[in-house]
Amino acid sequence: MTWSRSSFQPSERRGWRDATGQTERAQLIRWDAFEERLSVRRLRAYLKALPDFEDIAAEERAVTHALGFKSFSSAPYFFVEWPDLANAAQLVLERRAEIDGNAYYLLDPAGDIVLLFAEESEALTHPYLARAWAKRGADLRVPAPGQAKKVAMMGALDHAARRLVVQTSKTSSVDFIALLERLDGLYGPRPGLPIKPVVIALDNGPIHVSKAAAV
């Protein structure tokens, strides 16, 4: 963290008083404001007014509260402003199920991570006819070369970078691993570049939780 206890002199701590003279009440108001909306300004004022060494335990309590704050979008903003990027990254990893893809602008500076959203679908090379006119009893078919086949489409969206990576193949864990290998080539560690954790948000589909994909 960039904030340090040493930036406040002990004499300033002991001599500080709220303008109204009601120091204890002022402290309660500051802490309540922090607990309610994760106010960075209020928390700084609260810690500054504490006696020496008490601020350390209070800051730890504040971090614990922020990590479990009811509004996920408010929590990373608090850690960015504090700043405490290590706990911001922990927050994103532990509460990734609550991530709103539209709030990607909070996640990149908050956790300094690469956040990807993965999904898959299928398409037929010879699609079914949803509606068509024909004589009663007629065989509703449109001549087409070859045989109808299913094509699996797997993709991963990097919302912040506006990049979409698509893998087309059969539906199996092996093909999902092929997509992961492509992502590793794009986002994996590279010499001379900072390493960013990669978080992929996806469902619990069989190909995602298979033994082969877990290795």
Residues 98 and 122 in one domain: no
Range of the domain at 163: 113-128+147-215
pLDDT score of 128: 67
Strand order across the beta sheet in which 163-169 lies? 163-169, 150-158, 114-124, 198-201
Closest CA to 58 of 35, 91, 89: 35
Same domain, 173 and 201: yes
Does 141 fall in a domain? no
Q: Decide if pLDDT at 136 tops 50.
A: yes
Q: What is the pLDDT of residues 11-46, one digit of tens each?
A: 344 334 455 557 888 899 999 999 999 999 999 999
Read off φ and ψ for residue 4, nearest 5 degrees.
Answer: -140, 145
Same domain, 23 and 47: yes
Same-domain check for residues 99 and 151: no
Domain tally, the chain? 2
pLDDT digits (tens, 9 = 90+) for 150-169: 777 888 988 777 788 988 87
138 assigned to some structural domain: no
Is residue 4 pLDDT above 90, yes or no? no
CA distance 188 to 200: 13
Q: In terms of pLDDT, which residue wins out, 95 or 7? A: 95
Does residue 50 share a domain with residue 93? yes
Asked if residue 215 is part of any domain, the answer here is: yes
85 lies in the same domain as 120: no
Judge whether 127 and 115 are in contact, CB under 8 Å. Answer: no
90-122 confidence digits (pLDDT tens): 887 788 778 765 655 555 555 467 888 888 887
Q: Do 81 and 118 lie in a common domain?
A: no
Q: How many other CB atoms sit within 10 Å of the CB of residue 79?
A: 27
71 falls within a domain: yes
Is 142 among the domain residues? no
Are residues 97 and 183 located together in one domain of the fold? no
Q: Which helix (H) or strand (E) holds 32?
A: helix 23-37
State the pLDDT at residue 59: 94
Indicate if 44 and 67 belong to the same structural domain.
Answer: yes
Q: Is the pLDDT of residue 174 over 90?
A: no
- The verdict on 157 and 176 lying in the same domain is yes
Same domain, 71 and 99: yes
The answer as to whether 118 is a domain residue is yes
Residue 140: inside a domain: no
Residue with the larger pLDDT of the pair 110 and 195: 195
